[in-house]
């Protein structure tokens, strides 16, 4: 699962690698951390390396695939996206994504998420994908709606605790 590269008109999505640690750390900011909850407001290269090592371990066990999102022409890392299997219900997959602040509002998130959805059958099979977003993150809600997610009840899950400040979405193949 972890060897899947995806190319779009402007982006290259490839599994994150240890060589992406410095660029990942440089992109993480307090604004991003507020949405990623488990990531620190400022990330060190060692912390980024640890996140990447965790991601690669989980990918080796078919529990996730996390892609770095790169500008195709410059090969500049601008964020991450990925699919993570729910720990309590292995039939559920969750979409996540984030971009460095300099890359917001340019259509990159929609382009990357659309590419993941189109290629998900190769990565995880033709299964529904779920996502959750903080209610105040209007831009991220718009991304999900733009690529065809619809609001849904939150499935029972072990992925993370229920939170009253989140809205849930589902995308069917």
The CATH classification of domain 6-171, taken from the options 3.40.50.1970, 3.30.390.10, 3.40.630.30, 3.30.1780.10:
3.40.630.30
User: What's the whole-model pTM score?
Assistant: 0.88
Binned at pLDDT 50, 70 and 90, residue 139 comes out as: very high
Helix (H, G, I), strand (E, B) or coil at 46: helix
10 close to 115: Cβ distance less than 8 angstroms? no
Enclosing H/E stretch for 146? helix 138-146
Gap between the Cα atoms of 68 and 23, Å rounded: 10
Gap between the Cα atoms of 119 and 6, Å rounded: 8
Checking if the pLDDT of 159 tops 80, the result is no
| Winning range, highest mean pLDDT, from 62-76, 87-101, 110-124 | 62-76
> In the predicted model, what is the mean pLDDT of residues 123-152?
86
> In the predicted model, what is the mean pLDDT of residues 62-80?
95
**Assigned token pair, 148:** 């065809």
End-to-end CA distance of the chain: 18
Amino acid 1: pLDDT: 42
Amino acid 158: pLDDT: 55
Gap between the Cα atoms of 89 and 157, Å rounded: 7
**Phi, psi of 137, deg, nearest 5:** -90, 75
Nearest to 98 by CA among 83, 128, 78: 78
Checking if the pLDDT of 164 tops 70, the result is no
């Amino acid at each position: 699962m972890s060897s899947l590269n995806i190319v779009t008109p402007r982006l290259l999505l490839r599994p994150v690698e240890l060589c992406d640690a410095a660029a990942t750390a440089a992109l993480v900011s307090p604004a991003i951390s507020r949405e990623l909850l488990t990531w620190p407001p400022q990330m060190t290269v060692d912390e980024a390396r640890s996140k990447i090592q965790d991601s690669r371990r989980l990918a080796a066990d078919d529990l996730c695939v996390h892609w770095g999102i790169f500008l195709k022409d410059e090969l500049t890392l601008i964020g991450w996206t990925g699919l993570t299997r729910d720990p309590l219900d292995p039939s559920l997959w969750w979409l996540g994504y984030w971009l460095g602040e300099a890359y917001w509002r340019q259509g990159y998130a929609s382009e990357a998420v659309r590419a993941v959805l189109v290629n998900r059958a190769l990565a995880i099979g033709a299964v529904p994908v779920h996502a959750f977003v903080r209610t105040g993150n209007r831009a991220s809600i718009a991304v999900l709606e733009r690529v065809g997610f619809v609001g849904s009840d939150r499935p029972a899950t072990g992925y993370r605790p229920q939170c009253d400040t989140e809205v849930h979405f589902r995308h069917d193949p």
